[in-house]
Amino acid sequence: MNILGIESSCDETAAAVYTDEGLRSNIIASQAVHEQYGGVVPELASRAHHKTIWRTIEQALTEADTSLQAIDAVAVTQGPGLMGSLLVGLCFAKGLCLSRDIPLVGVNHMDAHIYANFIEGQPNYPFVSLTVSGGHTQLVHVKGPFDHTLLGETRDDAAGEAFDKIGKILGLPYPAGPVIDQRAKEGDTMFHDFPQAMLDNDFEFSFSGLKTSVMYYLEDQDDQAGFLEDHLDDVCASVSRAITEVLVKKLANAIEHTEVDTIVLAGGVSANSMLRQKAQTLAKERGCQLHIPQLAYCTDNAAMIAITGYMMAQRNQFADMNLKPFANLASK
Binding residues for substrate: 131-135, 164, 177, 181, 272
Residue 10's alpha-carbon distances to 17, 124, 236, 276, 332, in angstroms, are: 20, 30, 26, 24, 17
Which residues are paired to 73 by β-bridges?
A: 3
Single-letter amino acid code for the residue at 91:
C
Q: C-alpha angle with apex 209: 203 to 215, nearest 5 degrees? A: 150
Single-letter amino acid code for the residue at 46:
S
Binding residues for Fe cation: 109, 113, 300
Is residue 165 within 8 Å of residue 159, measured between CB atoms?
A: no
Question: How far apart are the two ends of the chain, measured CA to CA in Å?
Answer: 28
Binding residues: 109, 113, 131-135, 164, 177, 181, 272, 300
